[in-house]
Amino acid sequence: MTISNPALNYRSDTLTEFEEQHVRETAGAALRRSGRRSGERVPSPSLLRRLAIEQGLERPRRFRRVLDRPEILRALRSVLQIALRITGLRERGRQNALRPVIRHLRLAFPTLPTAFAGIRILHLSDLHADIPIPLVDRVIERVRGLAVDLCLLTGDYRFEASGSCDRACEAMAKILAAVEAPLGVFGVLGNHDPAEMVGRLGQFGASILVNDTVEIRRGQESIHLVGVDDPHYYGCDDLTSALFGVPREAFKILLAHSPELASEASAARVNLYLCGHTHAGQICLPWIGPMWVNATCPRQFTRGSWKYLKMLGFTSAGVGCSLVPARFHCPPEIAVIELVCPTPG
Ligand SMILES: [Fe+2]
């Protein structure tokens, strides 16, 4: 099917005419909520495909991962809740989840435009901002007054993966109000976020990139922020579209919810890959590490800083929690990343 509005050019071989109409109307409502006029350029094929998936009209590309099935996640949550109660560790896990740490990183890039040397990025991932513990105030305490130039968000603003996002949006509004980032706030959607969050977070000053790129200029030089839709569950990521018109030699920071696009991003000459999703395990065992990380990629990409060929990457341990509000041996993390040019010699 082809939707007649050129800005909503989306094709599906599976939807019935009734379903096509439903997706088109929902997309129109989403665009109105986001404040975009019909006909204005939007990264619409991805947004529409995501809406069709959210409404159960299409299947997510990566739905076959057993651990992403809602019934499996519900069962896992119950098991974890029971285990925390039986072991008496529930309150300790909750307290651990309420103590975000600030992690400072310094990453050197020979190709970083000199006008951007020393730029400081506040990276927040997996806030799950409507989490049922008083984490938001702790996050606000930590980020308020941080000297940063740019704030980058890598998805999962909502605790649950379905239902209303009102409470998550209210919490995000408070957090973003505490962030001072002169070059702006940019982000992407995660597997817990509905498409309508593009517009709703936009109202609080965050530009959510759905397979799109924004260029940030300083004098004659620039860097490009490239944002792709969730690659983990929805599979609506489209790096090729996101990079359309971006010079191959440009300095590129990729925002993706999960680290699962590392190989593709390296081939596209991305310089820095920022992501989250894994929570670095969230519940880790001493000396052993994470019990599980829900990502289809090598383990070295699922936590902290890493390198893939010439590309540097950072996978945040996340600020919030999913499934249960508890963490062990894996503190919530707020990252401040400074980009520098290598010192000679
Ligand atoms: Fe996620």
pLDDT recorded at residue 14: 55
Q: Say how far apart CA 278 and CA 280 lie, in whole Å.
A: 5
Looking at the chain, the whole-number percentage of residues with pLDDT higher than 70 is: 85
Other Cβ atoms less than 10 A from the Cβ of 43: the count is 23
Buried b (16+ CB within 10 A) or exposed e, 285-311: eeeeebeebbbebeeebbbbebebeeb
Q: Say which residues have a Cβ less than 8 Å from residue 188's Cβ, sequence separation at least 6.
A: 153, 154, 155, 208, 209, 210, 227, 228, 229, 230, 255, 256, 257
More confident residue, 294 or 172: 172
Q: How far is the CA of 165 from the centre of ligand 1 (A)?
A: 15
pLDDT recorded at residue 5: 37
| Beta-bridge partners for 306 | 313
**Do 7 and 38 touch, CB atoms closer than 8 A?**
yes
**Do 201 and 208 touch, CB atoms closer than 8 A?**
yes
Lowest mean pLDDT among 48-62, 199-213, 276-290: 48-62
Question: What's the CATH code, domain 93-340?
Answer: 3.60.21.10
Q: How confident is the model at residue 8 (pLDDT cuts 50, 70, 90)?
A: very low
Q: Say how far apart CA 40 and CA 255 lie, in whole Å.
A: 23
Q: Say which residues have a Cβ less than 8 Å from residue 292's Cβ, sequence separation at least 6.
A: 67, 281
Q: How far is the CA of 233 from the centre of ligand 1 (A)?
A: 8
Q: How far is the CA of 104 from the centre of ligand 1 (A)?
A: 23
Residue from 258, 193, 197, 265 nearest 232 by CA = 258
Residue from 224, 152, 144 nearest 185 by CA = 152
Q: How far is the CA of 231 from the centre of ligand 1 (A)?
A: 10
The end-to-end CA distance of the chain, in Å, is 59
Q: Say how far apart CA 214 and CA 34 lie, in whole Å.
A: 18
pLDDT recorded at residue 13: 53
pLDDT recorded at residue 7: 38
Q: What is the pTM of this model?
A: 0.88
115-161: pLDDT as tens digits: 999 999 999 999 999 998 999 999 999 999 999 999 999 999 999 98
Mean pLDDT, rounded, of the chain:
88
Residue 103 has pLDDT above 50, yes or no: yes
Q: What mean pLDDT is predicted for residues 264-287?
A: 96
Q: How far is the CA of 277 from the centre of ligand 1 (A)?
A: 4
Written as one letter, the residue type at 34 is: S
pLDDT recorded at residue 28: 61
pLDDT recorded at residue 40: 46
Lowest mean pLDDT among 16-25, 49-58, 276-285: 16-25
Q: How confident is the model at residue 79 (pLDDT cuts 50, 70, 90)?
A: very high
Could you say which DSSP state residue 251 is in? -
| Alpha-helix residue ranges (DSSP H) falling in 149-196 | 166-178
Q: How far is the CA of 39 from the centre of ligand 1 (A)?
A: 31
Q: How far is the CA of 292 from the centre of ligand 1 (A)?
A: 13
**Reduced DSSP (H G I as helix, E B as strand, rest coil) percent helix, strand, coil of the chain, to 5:** 30, 20, 50
Q: How far is the CA of 106 from the centre of ligand 1 (A)?
A: 25
Length, in residues, of the chain: 345
159-202: pLDDT as tens digits: 998 889 999 999 999 999 999 999 999 999 999 999 999 989 99
Q: Say how far apart CA 22 and CA 249 lie, in whole Å.
A: 42
Q: What mean pLDDT is predicted for residues 319-331?
A: 95
Q: Say how far apart CA 50 and CA 230 lie, in whole Å.
A: 9
Q: How confident is the model at residue 36 (pLDDT cuts 50, 70, 90)?
A: very low
pLDDT recorded at residue 29: 60
pLDDT recorded at residue 210: 92
pLDDT recorded at residue 62: 63
Ranges of each domain in the chain: 6-54, 93-340
42-65: pLDDT as tens digits: 446 777 888 888 888 877 776 556
Q: How far is the CA of 249 from the centre of ligand 1 (A)?
A: 30
What are the angstrom distances between the C-alpha of 291 and each of 6, 43, 277, 279? 47, 37, 15, 11
Task: Note the maximum CA span of the chain.
Answer: 66
| Alpha-helix residue ranges (DSSP H) falling in 179-312 | 197-202, 239-242, 262-267
Q: How far is the CA of 154 from the centre of ligand 1 (A)?
A: 9
Residue 293 has pLDDT above 60, yes or no: yes
Q: How confident is the model at residue 86 (pLDDT cuts 50, 70, 90)?
A: very high
Q: How far is the CA of 221 from the centre of ligand 1 (A)?
A: 34
Q: How far is the CA of 59 from the centre of ligand 1 (A)?
A: 18
pLDDT recorded at residue 111: 96
Residue 209 has pLDDT above 50, yes or no: yes
